[in-house]
Chains A and B, each alone.
Chain A
Amino acid sequence: MEHIIIIGNGISGVTVARHIRKLSDKKITIVSAETDYFFSRTALMYVYMGHMKFEHTQPYESWFWEKNNITLKKGFVKHIETATKTLEFAEGDSLKYDKLIIATGSKPNKFGWPGQDLKGVSGLYHKQDLENVEQYAPNNKVCKRAVIVGGGLIGIELAEMLSSRGIPVTFLVREKSFWNGVLPDGESGMINRHIKNHHIDLRLGFNLKEIKSDENGQVSSIIITETGEEIPCNYVGLTAGVSPNIDFIKTSDIELGRGVKVNRFLETSVEDVYAIGDCAEQRDGGIDQRRPIEAVWYTGRMMGETLAQTICGNRIQYKPGHWFNSAKFLDIEYQTYGWVFAKPRENEAHFHWKHEDDTKCITVCYDTTTNLFLGINTFGIRMRHEVFDRWLTEQKDVNYVMDHLAEANFDPEFFKHFEKDILNAFKNNLITA
């Protein structure tokens, strides 16, 4: 029986395993050095905040794996010998595969800052990172202040986590406005204010120069590049993005770039070796307007759904549909469908509407020559994925979308609706523009 080994038990690895099981009775082994069971990485923050226990982040009860005949192996792969199709483990043992799927995800970026490996410095990606935060920032007596470096999705989650335990947080963001490389100004500005309303010390346009240590090799302060200001702190969170977690593959003959190079079929340079999820890098550049490396929950899942077909004899390309994503910035939910870039590109325009309470806004992007609807960012108002996916497929124009916005509303019953305000603002905007 063909033996499929999957390295990594995150959403990509587990999805491909589940789908292979649905389609076949191949022998499946999932290898992980991180945890015994699959858990939702995006939910780690809720464990620290006390919303959930770690068990709650595990989507399947432990009997699930045995019932579906999926073997789980805890171990750290230190070398892949593709010639003999063998995995060598740091623990000393080895395993033979017929097909290998690399789904090892990401690791937090470190840009060579002095002091980046001190005790009390961590990212927030692995379960071990959570344990680090718990150790060095358990409460505001042990941790008088925490500094977070890097203003992205993980940075703001970490800021929310730490402040949930009453720890004062300084949030260093390189950009002039939060996540402004992705979000248009209006949205980014609203989130800046929301962060400050949560009493988080947001420092925009500042970089980390170095992290200083005390006599025990533990963080004692950080220095800001631009001002030279020293901020005493007991924990530093490094959240300046993530990069593929592929160091252990470097000794093999699998071709690597920033990630594991794959073609559209998610096949690597070596036969019978595949890569999916955050660690895979499309060798021909990003698909559609996507990036070559997509470190997103949803794309990891979609690659898993796709690759299972190929593994089970129906060789198909990874062809994701319309772009979508979501996040939550403290109390404000964010969803996006289609493409809205931080600045309108050529022949594009943005329509921005913001509610006076400063917690809800939308940005709609459309083509100024054809009026084609290109995408929407929505904050504080839930929208239907299915409706926007259909409108994008049907290539609706922006007027149609604005007229029918109520159809896409996904807020709970009895919530106040804003479609009329939005439509009026849109019409006025066209008149004045």
Chain B
Amino acid sequence: MDVTVSQAQGRVPVTIFRITGAVTDNQELEARAKAAYEGGARNILLDLTDVPYMATAGLRALHAIFTLLRADTLEESDEATKAGIAAGTFLSPHLKLAKPSAHVLEVLKAAGYDMFLEIHRDVNQAVASF
């Protein structure tokens, strides 16, 4: 798995992680996100165009990044977020996904990740949504 990092500007600055290869390990992706976060990134878009397969370890990394970016936004009510997650209506404003393959989309849906992460079909559209 390789990660190429770039920057884009929506209404807020967006850090794009273009991932290439199967995501079978959580550590590298989490480490890259942490490094970006420490460098000031607060909104991350994961471009999954070239990800043929995502294991549960990959899902674990996605959740870790979701939590990392959520921790910084204390102004967002934690209770409201929890209630939103419980109702399946909360979508993270800080972590979004773009262009998963049909199979990866199936994996994300089976694990209920589409309930808290926005999934876009187009990278530009995803950037503009932040």
B is a partner of A: no
Q: Which residues of B contact A (CB under 8 A)?
A: none
